[in-house]
Amino acid sequence: MADDWAGFGADLHLELRGQGLRAGLMDALREAVRTGRLAPGARLPSSRTLAADLGIARNTVADAYAELVAEGWLTARQGSGTRVARRAAPRRSGAPSPTTPRTGRFRQRPAYSLVAGTPDLASFPRAEWLKAARRALTAAPYEAFGYGDPYGRIELRTALADYLARARGVYAEPGRIVICSGFVHGLTLLGTVLRQRKVRDVAVEAYGYAVHRERLGDTGLRLPALPFDTLGSRTGELAAMKDVGAVLLTPAHQFPMGVALHPDRRAEIVDWARRSGGLVLEDDYDGEFRYDRQPIGALQGLDPDRVVYLGTASKALAPGLRIGWLVLPQALADEVVAAKGPVDWATSTLDQLTLAEFLVSGAYDRHVRGMRLRYRRRRDQLVEALAERAPGITVSGIVAGMHAVLELPPGTETSVLQAAAWQGLLIEGLSQYRHPATPPTRDALVVGYGTPPDSAWSGTLDALCRVLP
C-alpha cells in the first residue's frame, strides 16, 4: 500500500546521462522539449511520481523542475502542476514541413482533391458506427479480447457470407472467408501462396493501381499486362500466356477505365481458369455503387472454385478501418491462413465485431444507399458543369463507382496536371495507372468525385473546370 501512489501520473521515458542526477535529469528534460517529444503545454509527472519511476530522491526532481522553471523551459502553477512552457514548438529534425507533401508536387498543401479511390470521409457514419460498437462490445465473449483467429471473427465471416450472397451474388460460406487488413494485405497473401504453388506469372490489367502490381511483384511474381479495349480486358489473350497461373481483374467496373467486362469475356475468363487450372482474382472494389444500370453480380458466382473474391470496407465506409476479406476455395483458404500466421496480428477484433453488428443491423445497407444517392448527385453535377464550362471534354466510366475519366486532347495531360497543381488541385492523370508495358495511347484525367467533403465540392468543381483545355 505504501507504494500505491507510484502508479499515478503520466509515464515519461527519460535517459539520465552525465555526472550528477540533477544535472542529468535537467539535460534529459531539455532535450525532450527541444526535440518536440514533450510538446508545449504538456503536463509532466509529479515530482513524487517521476522520482519513483527513475529511482531517485524526490528532492532531486523537485530541484530540477524548479531550475527549469527559472530558465523558462517549464511553468508551475498551483493546481495545474508542472508543464512545458507554451512557446513556439521547435521543428523536428528531418521531418517534412506539414504544408509540403512528400511528393513535392505542391508548394503548399492542396486546397482541393479529386484523387480517385477514396470515399467522402466526412460522411463516415460516426453515430451509427458508435452504436454498433457499443452493442458489439457489450455482447463480445471474453475470448474476443485474446489473439484473434487468423480466419477472422466468426461473427463477421457469418455476416459477410449473408451480405455478399444477397447483395453481390457471391457463393460464400464462413469457412471460405478470410479476414485481412485491407485489399493490399489480402493481395500480398495471395501472391505469397501463388508463389508457393510455383506460379510464375499473374496477368494484370493494362490499367490499374501501381501499388497492386508492386505488392504482387514483391512476392516474386512476374506481371504481364492484359490488353484492354472498349469491351474490357481482352481475356482471350490469356491462352497465349503460357506461364500465367492467375489473373487480377476488376470485372464489374474496370479501374480506372470504368468499363464492365463484357458478358462473353466473363464466361471466357472462367473457361480459361477451368481449362488451365488457373485462378481469377476478382477485385470488387466498388460493386455497391451503380447508377444507370442493373447491378452486375460478382464473377465469383460463376465458379467459386476458380475465382477468388476480394472485397473491402474501404470504399463503402473508410480505408482507415483496415478491414478486407477474401472468399476462397476451401483448399486455398487454408493456405492463405497458413501464410497469414497462427493468429491474426493485423485486424482489430473489436472492429471486426463492430462491422459484423453494422451489417446484421442493416446500418451498412442504409449507409450504402445514402452514399449511392450522394455520389450519383455528385456525378450528375460534374457532368453538368463540364457540359457547360468545358464542352469539348468527353466523360466516360460513370455508370457506376466514384470516379470518371475525362478525355483530353492528345499531348495535354502533363500540362493540365501542372495547371491543376498551381490551382491547388490534387488530381491524377491516366498515365499514372498505365502498366509499364502498355503503350501510351490516351491523354485523360481520372477524377475521383467521391473524395471532397460537401463543403469543398463546389470549389473543387470550379478548380477542375479552370484547368481544363
Looking at residue 442, which CATH number applies to its domain?
Answer: 3.90.1150.10
263-293 pLDDT tens trace? 999 999 999 999 999 999 999 998 889 888 7
Chain position carrying cell 497461373: 245
Question: Mean of the pLDDT values across residues 349-355?
Answer: 97
Domain coverage including residue 399: 112-123+366-467
Assign residue 380 a region: left if phi > 0, alpha if psi is -120 to 50, beta otherwise? alpha
Q: For residue 105, is pLDDT > 60?
A: no
Q: 403: which strand partners?
A: 448
Q: What pLDDT, on a 0 to 100 scale, did the predictor assign at position 415?
A: 95
Instruction: Assess whether 302 and 394 both reside in one domain.
Output: no
Question: Mean of the pLDDT values across residues 185-202?
Answer: 96
Of the three residues 330, 362, 394, the one that is the final residue of a domain is 362
25-70 pLDDT tens trace? 998 999 888 888 888 988 999 999 998 888 899 999 999 999 998 8
Q: 405: which strand partners?
A: 396, 446
Instruction: Assess whether 291 and 380 both reside in one domain.
Output: no
With respect to residue 235, please indicate whether it lies within any of the assigned structural domains.
yes
Percent of the chain clearing pLDDT 90 (strictly above)? 75
Q: What pLDDT, on a 0 to 100 scale, did the predictor assign at position 80?
A: 78
Question: Mean of the pLDDT values across residues 343-352?
Answer: 90
Phi, psi of 251 (to 5 degrees): -70, -30
Higher pLDDT, 81 or 272: 272
Domain count, the chain: 3
Spatial separation of the C-alpha atoms in residues 296 and 299, rounded to whole Å: 9
Of the three residues 362, 388, 403, the one that is the final residue of a domain is 362
Instruction: Assess whether 338 and 414 both reside in one domain.
Output: no
Q: CATH number for the domain including 335? A: 3.40.640.10
Instruction: Assess whether 327 and 182 both reside in one domain.
Output: yes
Taking the CB of residue 337, how many other CB atoms lie within 10 A of it?
20
Instruction: Assess whether 23 and 118 both reside in one domain.
Output: no
Give me the chain's average pLDDT, please: 90
Question: Mean of the pLDDT values across residues 330-348?
Answer: 90
Q: Which helix (H) or strand (E) holds 360?
A: helix 349-360
Instruction: Assess whether 60 and 151 both reside in one domain.
Output: no
Q: For residue 343, is pLDDT > 60?
A: yes
Local confidence band at 99 (pLDDT 50, 70, 90 cut-offs): very low
With respect to residue 91, please indicate whether it lies within any of the assigned structural domains.
no
Phi, psi of 112 (to 5 degrees): -135, 155
Instruction: Assess whether 116 and 132 both reside in one domain.
Output: no
Q: What pLDDT, on a 0 to 100 scale, did the predictor assign at position 376?
A: 95
The length of the chain is 469
Of the listed ranges 75-89, 137-151, 210-224, 331-345, the one predicted with least confidence: 75-89
Instruction: Assess whether 325 and 355 both reside in one domain.
Output: yes
Instruction: Assess whether 401 and 279 both reside in one domain.
Output: no
Instruction: Assess whether 230 and 270 both reside in one domain.
Output: yes
Residues in contact with 331: Cβ distance below 8 Å, sequence separation at least 6, in sequence order? none
Instruction: Assess whether 130 and 207 both reside in one domain.
Output: yes
CA 372 to chain centre: 20
The pTM of this model reads 0.81
Q: What pLDDT, on a 0 to 100 scale, did the predictor assign at position 9?
A: 57
With respect to residue 333, please indicate whether it lies within any of the assigned structural domains.
yes
Residues in contact with 272: Cβ distance below 8 Å, sequence separation at least 6, in sequence order? 235, 238, 239, 247, 278
Instruction: Assess whether 319 and 337 both reside in one domain.
Output: yes
Instruction: Give whole-number Cα distances, 194 to 199, 216, 217, 221, 432, in Å.
Output: 5, 10, 12, 8, 27
Q: For residue 21, is pLDDT > 60?
A: yes
Percent of the chain clearing pLDDT 70 (strictly above)? 93
